Amino acid sequence: MQFVSTTGQIDKLTTACLILPVFSKGAQTELTETFDQANDGQIAVVLKRGDASGKAGNTLLMHMPAGNKTERVLLVGLGESGKTSEADFNKATSASINALKKLPIKSICTALLSVDVVDKDDKWKVRQWVIKSHEALYQYTQTLTSSAPDAHQLENCDILACSQISADDINQAATTASSIASGIASAKKLADLPGNICTPSYLADTATKLGEQHASLNVTVLEEAEMEKLGMGSFLSVSRGSRQPAKLITMEHNGGPSSQKPIVIVGKGLTFDAGGISIKPSSGMDEMKYDMCGGASVFGVMQMCAELNLPINVVGIVPSSENLPDGDANKPGDIVTSMAGLTIEILNTDAEGRLILCDALTYAAKFKPEVVIDIATLTGACVVALGKHATGLLGNNDELANELLAAGKKAGDKAWQLPLWDEYKPQLKSNFADLANIGGPAGGTITAACFLSRFTEDYKWAHLDIAGTAWKSGADKGATGRPVHMLSQFILDRC
Ligand code: BES
Ligand code: MN
Ligand code: ZN
């Protein structure tokens, strides 16, 4: 869907459907009142009868008399006047699009910028409207033979400039948001694909294609033989148990001056994690196709940077492999040598994410990074600690951590910081190698980050554990595209 700003008098708009806010309590917006006065007070009648409650996300479709330029009005609830929250606004957006996508209409017009949202400005409203609309229209279709079950006809959405923000600023915010939304959708599409289609080679091909589509993107894929030469013994030990060859994918967006140090993002691209010899229980194991969500988010962010031609250098690295049981797979007690030279005792083959990430993080240093951020579905313990709402954040630089926390808050794609104290580090002690790949049941998310921290000492680094936030289980099973929005905000704030 395309989003553009529009101006005009509220009661003289030509549109198939005008989206108008209503509140559950307090005075309605001036805009809603003006429209109603020009149209025989029908909205007041409907509100009085209680058909439209004004509760956040409640919708009611009204048809205007034949001949009216505004053919329909969708009343959408935003809660109590003056108290509309971020969540209320998001709910109202999703509910509006969900209500309208079922109708045979192509063009709509939203007047929701007229609503004050607590602590948020107009630019935020535009971005959120665009991103949440795209999200409501997202559909997984790749492996369904029936053509899209509820294909919609929505093509254009006018955003009525009915607040302080200028038409130009609306258009600019909408363009930015559309690219963030495409990045989120691309990440979801990749993540939702099954493990037999989305293999490391599939991800590598996807990266190559992305590079062909965007002049600013330089894509390289390292094969196992090249990784062997670099000494990536840890990463390759995981891949040895799989028939699919591992790939190390690098996507460089060169938008800034060549002297500018890049932001490097490294995403875990485990296209299926069965656990290896330390095999996982079978219940729910299908969801381990989502173990590449960190990698998928890197694809989404790189696409966003390229589409918007951001004036900044960003490097995306995705180490990709499967983790399966096999005669040649890692065995508990095996010791491997990482690219950094540190030896690792593999006490649990299911703690494979850190084994592929440590070599990718060593490789990242070659880009002389300003900062490095890794994104990984790394520990079940993170889901226990933070549930499904907050991404776990750890790192070796508080300034960087605070910047990410702030970006997450702004984007509504939040993280919560956990400590990375030295006290936890002895849990990784091994009698036979420089470190063990697990640290026991206590503080599993923290000891996983402690493991990674041994490989990130030479630069500012943050780690995002997205085990709880990258996808949803149950009836709504599907990828969320997180944390593409947080990372996009982080990068945009640095531009
Ligand atoms: N990919 C998993 C982590 C995971 C599990 C993410 C469940 C989301 C939901 C990771 O490779 C893993 O298996 N981690 C182990 C580590 C343990 C063996 C120290 C875990 O969390 O159980
Ligand atoms: Mn695992
Ligand atoms: Zn894993």
Ligand 1 atom with the smallest distance to the CA of 278 is: 18
Pocket of ligand 1 contains residue 74 by CB under 6 Å: no
Pocket of ligand 1 contains residue 445 by CB under 6 Å: no
pLDDT at residue 147 above 70? no
Q: How confident is the model at residue 145 (pLDDT cuts 50, 70, 90)?
A: confident
Pocket of ligand 1 contains residue 216 by CB under 6 Å: no
Mean pLDDT on 377-403: 98
Pocket of ligand 1 contains residue 112 by CB under 6 Å: no
Q: How confident is the model at residue 480 (pLDDT cuts 50, 70, 90)?
A: very high
Q: How confident is the model at residue 149 (pLDDT cuts 50, 70, 90)?
A: low
Instruction: Check residue 196 and give left, alpha or beta (phi > 0: left; psi -120 to 50: alpha).
Output: alpha
pLDDT at residue 476 above 70? yes
CA of 351 to the centre of ligand 2 (A): 5
- Alpha-carbon distance 464 to 268, whole Å? 11
Half-sphere exposure of 445 (CA within 13 A, CB side): 26
HEC string for 115-174: CCCCCCCHHHHHHHHHHHHHHHHCCCCCCCCCCCCCCCCCCEEEEECCCCCCHHHHHHHH
The proportion of the chain whose per-residue pLDDT surpasses 70, expressed as a percent, equals 99
**Pocket-testing residue among 268, 379, 464, ligand 1, by greatest number of atoms within 8 A of Cβ:** 379
Q: Among the bound ligands, name the one nearest to the CA of residue 466.
A: 1
Give residue 244's pLDDT.
Answer: 98
Catalytic residue chosen out of the listed positions 55, 123, 280, 494 = 280
Pocket of ligand 1 contains residue 348 by CB under 6 Å: yes
Return mean pLDDT, the chain: 97
Residues with CB under 5 A from ligand 2 (ion): 273, 350, 352
CA of 450 to the centre of ligand 1 (A): 15
Please tell me the pTM assigned to this model: 0.97
Q: How confident is the model at residue 148 (pLDDT cuts 50, 70, 90)?
A: low
Instruction: Respond yes or no: is residue 240 known to be catalytic.
Output: no
The CA-based angle 193-180-14, given to 5 degrees, is: 110
- Render pLDDT for 284-342 as a digit per residue (tens, 0 to 9): 999 999 999 999 999 999 999 999 999 999 999 999 999 999 999 999 999 999 999 99
- Alpha-carbon distance 41 to 47, whole Å? 10
- Render pLDDT for 234-273 as a digit per residue (tens, 0 to 9): 999 999 999 999 999 999 999 999 999 999 999 999 999 9
pLDDT at residue 150 above 90? no
Mean pLDDT on 120-147: 94
- Render pLDDT for 353-373 as a digit per residue (tens, 0 to 9): 999 999 999 999 999 999 999
Closest CA to 358 of 435, 256, 263, 273: 435
pLDDT at residue 146 above 80? no
Instruction: Respond yes or no: is residue 494 known to be catalytic.
Output: no
159: phi then psi, degrees, rounded to nearest 5: -110, 110
Distance of CA 158 to the CA centre of its chain: 25
Q: How far is CA 116 from CA 5, 428, 441, in A?
A: 18, 51, 47
Ligand 1 atom with the smallest distance to the CA of 352 is: 11
CA of 277 to the centre of ligand 3 (A): 13
CA of 333 to the centre of ligand 2 (A): 16
Distance of CA 148 to the CA centre of its chain: 23
User: CB of 206 within 8 A of CB of 251?
Assistant: no
Pocket of ligand 1 contains residue 385 by CB under 6 Å: no
pLDDT at residue 404 above 90? yes
Catalytic residue chosen out of the listed positions 125, 132, 289, 354 = 354
Pocket of ligand 1 contains residue 291 by CB under 6 Å: yes
The proportion of the chain whose per-residue pLDDT surpasses 90, expressed as a percent, equals 98
Q: How confident is the model at residue 446 (pLDDT cuts 50, 70, 90)?
A: very high
Pocket of ligand 1 contains residue 345 by CB under 6 Å: no
- Alpha-carbon distance 94 to 309, whole Å? 28
**Pocket-testing residue among 350, 352, 477, ligand 1, by greatest number of atoms within 8 A of Cβ:** 350
- Alpha-carbon distance 489 to 245, whole Å? 34
CA of 353 to the centre of ligand 1 (A): 8
- Alpha-carbon distance 2 to 24, whole Å? 30
- Alpha-carbon distance 463 to 400, whole Å? 10
439, amino acid identity = G
Instruction: Give the relative orientation of helices 398-411 and 484-494 as an angle to the nearest 10 degrees.
Output: 110
Pocket of ligand 1 contains residue 352 by CB under 6 Å: yes
Residue of the CA atom closest to atom 3 of ligand 1: 379
- Render pLDDT for 24-43 as a digit per residue (tens, 0 to 9): 999 999 999 999 999 999 99
Strand partners, 265: 316, 373
296, amino acid identity = A
- Alpha-carbon distance 440 to 424, whole Å? 11
Mean pLDDT on 45-57: 95
